[in-house]
Structure 1
Amino acid sequence: MFTLEEMLTIEHIAVENLSPNRVLRIRRITTDSRNVKPGDAFVAIRGERFDGNRFVDAAVERGAVCAIVNEGLKHTKLRVPLIRVKDTTRALGELARLHRRKFDIPVIAITGSSGKTTTKEMVHSVLKTKYNVLSTKGNLNNHIGVPQTLFRLKKNHEVAVIEMGMNHVGEIHYLCEMAEPTHGVVTNIGKAHLGYFKSIEQVAEAKGELFDWIAERGERVGFINMDDSLVVRQSKKVRNKITYSCSRSRAAMQSRLERVDAKGQPVIELTSKGWKKPVTISMRIAGIHNISNVTAAAAIGKEFGISPGEIQSALQNFKPVSGRLEVSRISGVTIVNDAYNANPESVMSALETIASMDCRGRRIVVLGDMLELGTSSRSEHKHIGAALLKFQCDMLLTVGTYTKHLNNAAKIKEKIHYDDKRQLIQQLSGSVQKGDVVLIKGSHGMRMDEVVNELVKYLKPKT
């Protein structure tokens, strides 16, 4: 991956224990001392609750041949090269950029308030029909996760798909400096992470840093969601635009909803200039909002030379990512597991989805707090509560701090709020019946996946 000499090109303060062997080969870069293997370099990252500098000795014991540490690290008993830097996180990013520059391949960056991971997985599914694709694992999309993805680049990779997340101004720009994308897409702009910003317009500017980066670098390409006015506004400077839309006939890639089946899965028609005829896709993922993600993936696929038939096959066989509108049926109960994360837009989309599903029993909605909404937290939860009635919700169970306001605003007869998740699980398990459709959703920090797991355990036939 690196030689020691290459690693010394990053900005550093001092180097200790430098041997004459500057061509010492570094097999891998890692930030977790528990995962170090012989030949690795260990980067001692500092976080709010941990300090990797405390584990340098352990990393060396496990076989690390080099370590990047903060300038203030005291002990000097180690005999491997120590590269002292002001900021080990920045050093990690520099190394990631250094490694990325070894590969002359397209890099597609994907950001947005929601749908990033699903779109990334869809794009991967489409592109792998023709290319050897590297993509972000899970949602490792921050200043630590993006380097980890870039370090996985190898000579046989032909294209990379990098998911980028953010919760403050400048973060997307920093990730772009690292990954140097040739193509970029902003899926949408909504209220996720609003607590870190003064307004949704400021959120848009922060997400738009991807388009700014692309616009400043000539021939790079932006994929523009024409159905989101904030995305369109942020893309104005992009010279090479490929548009997509679920409603506008002039977009380069267009989709049209034909119908929604009993499982809440859309059937759509895709059309694009240069295609001889439209392509029909029977989606295997629920939710009308996912049509936009499919359309984006199709637009990217076409730009990369994937045939209409291959795009159709890849997207028609695409299954949802775990915890994102993942539908399962156990003992006659339909569980809609959307527990991975939540923001106002994604909650409304999930409610719209279960309203479109065939239900012979009750529609039960189980919600945890939507976090990181700042001063808008109370009002956004109230807004969701007031909207529940139109989504044919029969029963509402909530847990958390802000969902109390949601529960109070809901005009539903059967509703209960809990401060304790265990009590909610007991109530849900005791009341669920055959034919019910149960939606479970909340921000990642609420760990609503625990509710899903306990409900599944309760419903599974006992052997």
Structure 2
Amino acid sequence: MLTRSLADVQMMIPGSMIDERYASVMIHGVSTDTRTIERGNLYVPLKGATFNGHQFVKEAFDKGAVAALWSKHEPNAPTDVPLIFVEDSLVALQQLAHAYRKQLRTRIIGVTGSNGKTTTKDMIASLLGTVYRVQKTEGNLNNHIGVPLTLLRLKEETEYAVVEMGMSGFGEIELLSTLAEPDVAIITNIGESHLQELGSREGIATAKFEIVKGLQRDGLFIYHGDEPLLQARVQRSSLSHIQTFGMEPTNDYYPLDIRVQADGTAFTVNRWSDETFHMPLLGRHHVMNALAAIAVARFASVDVAHMKEGFLRLSVTKMRTEVIKRPDGVTIINDAYNASPTSMRAALELLGQLTGYRKKIAIVGDMLELGEQEITFHEQIGEMIDPQKIDYVLTYGERAKAIAEQASKRFSKGHVRSYHDKVELATDLQKIAEAGDIILLKASRGMRLEEIISLLNK
């Protein structure tokens, strides 16, 4: 993590000022939240529509901060503590992170995409971690605040850092890429997330492609080669080092065989037809993420044996096809972290492919931020659910009613139900589910569908 004197920090933030009395004060790490601040931290007070972190500077010092930033336009600056005066505390945080990144020898892997970026981040870190000292984005710190904090948490001895980059509008990925200056930039895919803000899949592709803006001059760009929207943008670019992954044999990396098994997914890759990779994740769609991770591992000269080891010991961020074995004999696939039409279809197809279970129950909730076509997208999900492969469909939320309306046209009476109350849904689910059954949970983050798991325990 960032360990510097205030004089060093002042040099890293253009236009900032400090009282020379405090120039030798050493800071160890950076925090923007007094609830989690640690002794020795530099506190960065951020300002939003409904909060102002400058009001908590005294509290930050009381909890162990040794210095703080202070925006010059904020009144009543304390006079008895070490402060660095800056024009804007958020911009200063970003400038500090960028300056620190340029001082490090760490190689940065930047990952974005509509779906799968967190799982891909976890895979890359696991594969590289078999050989190198690696850090990765913690939790979901992937925005204009989270990425700077991720960079500032890097240890000086870290050899590779895997940095997830998220966005909701144009210009955001460009900012993050420019801050991180990745050695490798990856786009996992182009889906429908953020259609409400970006208007079309073309707009989403344009926004995601911004990740190349900060790519090192000799850096490697890895992308989903089956996506025409990305192909077109690559052709118009001046990128010199490019690799692709996908299902089609025109890609640099593509699967020869995929087998979804009870304990995970096994697959082979064109580069090594006699080697089988196995990962403790369920679903063919995760193989695309794995191919991107393999491309990065080869860039870093990780051999096949270490790649296989990395997949076997893979630990992914919670609520990404997380398998939960309940004491009552019911299995739950908790994939409730987020959802788009692309990832919803993949999850339902996975549930349909699984064998060895008495009943298969899909619990699906609203997919958010889909714009004017949101009901159409939900209807299309309802139309694709196969009653020959899935036994029950329980929906939660106003938009998800459209899933139920379409699915009920083909399912037996009572096997498709729509809810607006999680307690009622969980109560009915307990009557349906028995030992040997499997349940899928899938919805956008705002629906908090995972709460149904705790309700089942009551």
Aligned residue in 1 for 2:307:
311
Aligned residue in 2 for 1:231:
230
What is the alpha-carbon distance in structure 2 between the residues aligned to residue 391 and residue 101 of structure 1?
56
Aligned residue in 2 for 1:362:
359
For the 8 Å contact 1:12–1:86, the answer to whether it is kept is no
Of residues 359, 368, 373, the one that matches 2:370 is 373
What is the alpha-carbon distance in structure 2 between the residues aligned to residue 368 and residue 375 of structure 1?
18
- Residue 298 of structure 1 and its aligned partner are, at CA, apart by 1.0
Amino acid at match of 2:221: G
Higher mean C-alpha deviation, range 150-159 or range 320-329: 320-329
- Residue 36 of structure 1 and its aligned partner are, at CA, apart by 2.9
Aligned residue in 2 for 1:97:
98
Unpaired segments ≥5 residues, structure 1: 459-463
What is the alpha-carbon distance in structure 1 between the residues aligned to residue 230 and residue 258 of structure 2?
26
Pair 1:183 & 2:179 matched: no
Aligned residue in 2 for 1:3:
5
Pair 1:255 & 2:232 matched: no
Distance 1:247 1:187, change over 3 A: same
Aligned residue in 1 for 2:76:
75
Distance 1:181 1:320, change over 3 A: closer
Pair 1:322 & 2:318 matched: yes
Amino acid at match of 1:364: I
Amino acid at match of 2:7: E
What is the alpha-carbon distance in structure 1 between the residues aligned to residue 452 and residue 182 of structure 2?
38
Amino acid at match of 2:218: E
- Residue 88 of structure 1 and its aligned partner are, at CA, apart by 1.7
Amino acid at match of 2:137: T
For the 8 Å contact 2:404–2:418, the answer to whether it is kept is yes
Aligned residue in 2 for 1:298:
294
> What TM-score do the two structures reach when normalised by structure 2?
0.92
What is the alpha-carbon distance in structure 2 between the residues aligned to residue 182 and residue 85 of structure 1?
30
What is the alpha-carbon distance in structure 1 between the residues aligned to residue 417 and residue 11 of structure 2?
59
Unpaired segments ≥5 residues, structure 2: none
Within a 5 Å distance, the mapping from 1:196-275 to structure 2 comes to 196-214=197-215, 217-236=216-235, 237=237, 238-248=239-249, 250-262=250-262, 265-272=264-271
Amino acid at match of 1:434: A
For the 8 Å contact 1:211–1:235, the answer to whether it is kept is no
Amino acid at match of 1:124: A
> What TM-score do the two structures reach when normalised by structure 1?
0.91
SS state at 1:266 partner: strand
Amino acid at match of 1:3: S
Within a 5 Å distance, the mapping from 1:452-463 to structure 2 comes to 452-455=453-456, 457=457
Distance 1:336 1:63, change over 3 A: closer
Aligned residue in 1 for 2:146:
145
Distance 1:258 1:405, change over 3 A: closer
- Residue 101 of structure 1 and its aligned partner are, at CA, apart by 1.2
For the 8 Å contact 1:339–1:447, the answer to whether it is kept is yes
What is the alpha-carbon distance in structure 2 between the residues aligned to residue 393 and residue 86 of structure 1?
57
SS state at 2:103 partner: coil
What is the alpha-carbon distance in structure 2 between the residues aligned to residue 325 and residue 62 of structure 1?
38
What is the alpha-carbon distance in structure 2 between the residues aligned to residue 350 and residue 172 of structure 1?
27
SS state at 1:448 partner: coil
> What is the RMSD of the two structures over their aligned residues, measured on CA atoms?
2.1
Give per-residue Cα distances to partners, 1:177-204, cap 9 Å, x unaligned: 2111111110001001211111110011
Within a 5 Å distance, the mapping from 1:431-446 to structure 2 comes to 431-446=432-447
What is the alpha-carbon distance in structure 1 between the residues aligned to residue 12 and residue 359 of structure 2?
59
Give per-residue Cα distances to partners, 1:344-374, cap 9 Å, x unaligned: 1110000000001014422211112111112
Pair 1:388 & 2:385 matched: yes
Of residues 397, 402, 406, the one that matches 1:400 is 397
- Residue 262 of structure 1 and its aligned partner are, at CA, apart by 4.5
For the 8 Å contact 1:244–1:252, the answer to whether it is kept is yes
Give per-residue Cα distances to partners, 1:397-426, cap 9 Å, x unaligned: 111121122222223332221222221122
Aligned residues: 449
